[in-house]
Amino acid sequence: MSKKDKDNIREDEQMEDVSFENNDETEEEAKEVKKPKKRWKKKTDKEKLADAEEKCAELNDKYLRLYSEFDNYRKRTSKERIDILKTASQDIMVDLLPVLDDFDRGLQAMSDNNAQEDSVQGVELIYNKLFSLLKQKGLESMDSNGKEFDTDYHEAITNIPAPSEDLKGKVVDVIQKGYLLNGKIIRFAQVVVGN
Domain boundaries, the chain: 56-88, 89-137, 140-195
CB 179 within 8 A of CB 187: yes
3-state secondary structure of 52: helix
Whether pTM > 0.75 for this model: the answer is: no
CA quadruple 95, 99, 102, 104: dihedral positive or negative?
A: negative
The reported pLDDT for the residue numbered 1 is: 57
The reported pLDDT for the residue numbered 114 is: 83
Alpha helices in the chain (DSSP H): 3-22, 27-34, 45-87, 90-112, 117-136
Fold held by 140-195: Nucleotide Exchange Factor Grpe; Chain A, domain 2 (2.30.22)
The reported pLDDT for the residue numbered 41 is: 65
User: Which strands sit side by side in the sheet containing 179-181, from one edge to the other?
Assistant: 139-141, 179-181, 184-187
Q: Rounded CA gap, 47 and 107, in Å?
A: 89
Q: Per-residue confidence of the chain (195 residues) as pLDDT tens digits?
A: 555 566 656 555 555 444 444 445 555 555 555 555 556 667 788 889 999 999 999 999 999 999 999 999 999 999 999 888 877 788 888 999 999 999 999 999 998 888 888 888 999 999 999 999 999 988 999 988 889 999 899 999 999 988 888 888 899 999 999 999 888 899 999 999 998
The reported pLDDT for the residue numbered 4 is: 59
The reported pLDDT for the residue numbered 18 is: 46
